[in-house]
Amino acid sequence: MAFEKYDFTPLTQAIHKALIENVSPLLTTIIEWTIIGVLFLLFIAIFGLLLVYVERKVCAAFQQRLGPMRVGPWGLLQTIADFVKLLMKELITPKSVDKFLYNLAPFIVIIVPFLTISVIPFAPGLQALDFDIGIFFVTAVSSVGVIGVLLAGWASNNKYSLIGGMRSGAQIVSYELSVGMSLITMVILAGTMQISEIVELQRGGWFLFKGHIPAVLAFFVFVVAGTAETNRGPFDLAEAESELTAGFHTEYSGIKFAFFFLAEYINLFIVSAMATIVFLGGWMPFHFGDWAAFNNVMDFIPGLVWFFIKVFGIIFLIMWFKWTFPRLRIDQILTLEWKYLLPINLFNILLMATMVLLGWHW
Amino acid sequence: MNSEVMFYLLAGMILVFSVLTVTSRKILRAAVYLLFVLISTAAIYFMLEYTFLAAVQLTVYAGGIVVLIIFSVLLTSHISEKAIMADRKQSLLSALAVGAGALLTLLTILKFTFVPSALPAQTSTVTDVGNALISYERDGFALPFEVISILLLAALIGAIIVARKEKDNAIIK
């Protein structure tokens, strides 16, 4: 196939071979870990800044404004300037906080996206870790993130932060269930949790089309629950500026605040990437039935580009939610999850299982 | 050799944070130290390449139980609260009990001769775990699985009964 030439495996294999021939195995491991770590670090920092810029531009477009325009061409350097400002800000630790937990919380929050990003396949042969529990690993690791939010809310010793932390905790714990269950629905269709295999299985068609009705339902639930799990609008009542003065991160400043901020945007990327992998075929190109010519043209676009086109599509969808819908109340959020999404999900799992059993999918 | 270094690192973390969990006088800090113990345990499972158990450890203990503990602390206690120190008699007795337990465990482990198995180490995949859970043949866990789900259902219903509003009771009275 044409697009196989964009496979990254020869490159990674060549690097590995060059290292193992020249240095000891231990050093090879250490160097490879360092390379991967630095790459992810750079990716998270740069992509986070890019997403902040995209968000401001999208928001501006929805409100018929131009958004940042002054710093750099089309304001492209605006977020970098903002970030430099954040780095130089004083780190204020209020007097009555629990210092250990107060300083620990941002790190717990930022570690989670670092762990989950490791299983995401960006392109053929470009995946750091490929467990046979891939999907489960993502849900397991992201369930730890809420602890950072709760700790930040409590350790700040501030009633706004505490309320924000509690709200966010209740919300994340509830919506985790829907995210997990909609992923389980797709795992039933795929028959595996290994991410590389899930992508490979979609060579003949994306799961969104292969699993038709239940897959579309699961996709809908996943995007809604994923938006809620990343604490984004219209589910952003944990940090509702107007009533809670930013909720759990009220007391944070400088780089620690930047950690919360960055983690939120990278989590947005991870939710979109998971949706892309599970529903939209990961880095697989878009094929239409037996239109050979069309399919061949599609194959010439590299997997990396396909992956980011799909991810940005879903990121745009989630940003669209944020700037269109008004913020929900806490009881409305919990009602939506427990009285609507959860029963829909349970029914959907049954439907998908029946369909797979009877072979009613493509 | 790499894995040995990692093992001692993780084991050391587990030991240190376990001690900190029981000695910390601030309850939320104790919960966080417990979180570190549980995550280090998950890391050991990852090291043994039993990724399924590691992910379960993370979901159930780190993401479930610790979150529950932290939630209840958040609802009940204030940041300035400190646990009262146990008096000397109590701590002496607990130290004795813990020491005796540790001694017994150590003696048993050191006396036991571990026979190295000729079989290659088995790695079980998710498929194996899933099949074992619903299999009713030998080495199957269908019955325990069902019994546990009934227990969970009972717990769920119990929680709803306890937590629901007292509207109906008032009418009965």
B28 touches chain A (CB under 8 A): yes
Residue A267 lies in a domain: yes
pLDDT score at B2: 67
Q: Which residues of B touch A132 (CB under 8 A)?
A: 51, 125-126
Task: Between B95 and A359, name the one with better pLDDT.
Answer: B95
Nearest CA to A264 out of A17, A35, A55, A89 is that of A55
Q: Is A150's CB within 8 Å of B39's CB?
A: no
Range of weakest confidence among A13-22, A288-297, B125-134: A288-297
Find which of A90-104, A320-334, B76-90 is predicted with most confidence, using mean pLDDT: A320-334
**In the block, which residue shows the tokens 């997997």?**
A303
Report the pLDDT value the prediction gives residue B123, as an integer from 0 to 100. 67
Q: Rounded to the nearest 5°, which phi and psi values hold at B80?
A: -85, -5
What is the mean pLDDT of the segment spanning A66-95?
Answer: 82
Dihedral, CA of residue A302, residue A308, residue A310 and residue A311, to nearest 10: 160
What pLDDT band is residue B73 in, cutting at 50, 70 and 90?
Answer: confident
Whether residue B52 lies within 8 A of chain A, CB to CB, comes out as yes
Q: Which structural domain, as residue segments, surrounds residue A112?
A: 91-358
- Per residue in A238-259, pLDDT tens? 666 666 666 777 777 778 888 8
Contact A162 B35 (CB under 8 A): no
pLDDT at A147 over 50: yes
Instruction: Give me the mean pLDDT over the A309-323 stretch.
Output: 89
Report pLDDT for A22: 81
Give me the mean pLDDT over the A42-68 stretch.
88
Q: What is the pLDDT of residues A177-230, one digit of tens each?
A: 889 899 999 888 888 888 888 888 888 778 887 878 888 999 999 999 988 888
What the block records as the tokens of B60 is 């159930």
Query: Is residue A257 in a domain?
Result: yes
Task: List domains and CATH numbers for chain B.
Answer: 1-81 (1.20.120.1200), 124-166 (no CATH)
- Residue B12 C-alpha, separation from nearest chain A C-alpha, in angstroms: 20
Query: Picking from A103-117, A156-170, A343-357, B35-49, which range would have the lowest pLDDT averaged per residue?
Result: A156-170
Cβ neighbours, 10 Å, residue A270: 24
Q: CA-CA distance, A319 to A307, in Å (whole number)?
A: 18
Lowest model confidence (mean pLDDT) among A293-302, B3-12, B40-49, B149-158: A293-302
Provide mean pLDDT across the span A263-275.
Answer: 90
Domain count, chain A: 1
Q: What are the pLDDT digits (tens) for B99-117?
A: 999 999 999 988 888 777 7
CB B52 within 8 A of CB B129: yes
Phi-psi region of A71 (alpha: psi -120 to 50; beta: other; left: phi over 0): beta
What is the C-alpha to C-alpha distance for residues A75 and A85, in angstroms, rounded to an integer? 16
Secondary structure in 3-state letters for chain A: CHHHHHCCHHHHHHHHHHHHHHCCHHHHHHHHHHHHHHHHHHHHHHHHHHHHHHHHHHHHHHCCCCCCCCCCHHHCCHHHHHHHHHHHCCCCCCCCCCHHHHHHHHHHHHHHHHHHHHHCCCCCCCCCCCCCCHHHHHHHHHCCHHHHHHHHHHHCCCHHHHHHHHHHHHHHHHHHHHHHHHHHHHHHHHCCCCHHHHHHHHHHCCHHHHCHHHHHHHHHHHHHHHHHHCCCCCCCHHHCHHHHCCHHHCCCCHHHHHHHHHHHHHHHHHHHHHHHHHHCCCCCCCCCCCCHHHHHHHHCCCHHHHHHHHHHHHHHHHHHHHHHCCCCCHHHHHHHHHHHHHHHHHHHHHHHHHHHHHCCCC
Q: How confident is the model at residue A1 (pLDDT cuts 50, 70, 90)?
A: very low
Residue A330 in this model has a pLDDT that exceeds 90: no
Tell me the average pLDDT of chain A. 83
> Are B39 and A63 contacting, i.e. CB atoms less than 8 angstroms apart?
no
Q: Name the residue among B51, B74, B125 with its Cβ closest to that of A150.
A: B74
Asked whether the beta carbons of residue A153 and residue B74 sit closer than 8 angstroms, the reply is yes
Average confidence (pLDDT) over A55-82: 85
Contact check, Cβ <8 Å, B74/A165: yes
Q: How far apart are CA B132 and CA B134, in angstroms?
A: 6
CB B33 within 8 A of CB B17: yes
Q: Are B43 and B55 in contact (CB under 8 A)?
A: no
DSSP 8-state assignment for residue B137: S
- CA A337 remoteness from chain centre: 20
Q: Strand, coil or helix: what is B87? A: coil
Reported pTM: 0.86
Q: What burial class does residue A189 get, using C-beta atoms within 10 Å of its C-beta: 0-12 exposed, 13-18 middle, 19+ buried?
A: buried
Work out the pLDDT band at A280, boundaries 50, 70, 90: confident
Assess whether pLDDT exceeds 70 at residue B150. Answer: yes
The verdict on a CB contact (< 8 Å) between A140 and B55 is yes
d(CA A144, CA A125): 28
Query: What pLDDT is recorded for position A322?
Result: 85
Token pair 């009990």 in the structure block, residue: B97
> Chain A closest CA to B99's CA: distance in Å?
30
The answer to the question of residue A150 being in a domain is yes
> What is the per-residue pLDDT for B100?
95
Measured over the CA atoms of residue B38, residue B41, residue B47 and residue B50, the dihedral's sign is negative
CA atoms within 13 A on the CB side of B98: 8
Q: Is A99 domain-assigned?
A: yes
The pLDDT of residue B14 is: 93
Q: Do B29 and A146 touch (CB under 8 A)?
A: no
Q: Given this model, what pLDDT does residue A2 score? A: 45
pLDDT recorded at residue A347:
92
Residue A145 has pLDDT above 70, yes or no: yes
Q: Is the confidence at residue B172, as pLDDT, over 60?
A: no
Distance CA A318, CA A320 (A): 5
DSSP code at position B58:
I
Asked if residue A348 is part of any domain, the answer here is yes
In chain B, what residues touch A29 (CB-CB under 8 Å)? 2
Burial code (b: 16+ CB inside 10 Å, e: under 16) for A15-33 equals: eeeebeeeeeeeebeeebe
Task: Over range A259-267, report the average pLDDT.
Answer: 86
Residue A13 predicted with pLDDT over 90 = no
The pLDDT of A344-355, averaged and rounded, is 91
> Which chain A residue has the Cα nearest residue B2?
A26
B20–A contact, CB cutoff 8 A: no
| CB atoms B29 and A101 under 8 Å | yes
Which of A97, A144, A165 is facing B58, going by the closest CB pair?
A: A144
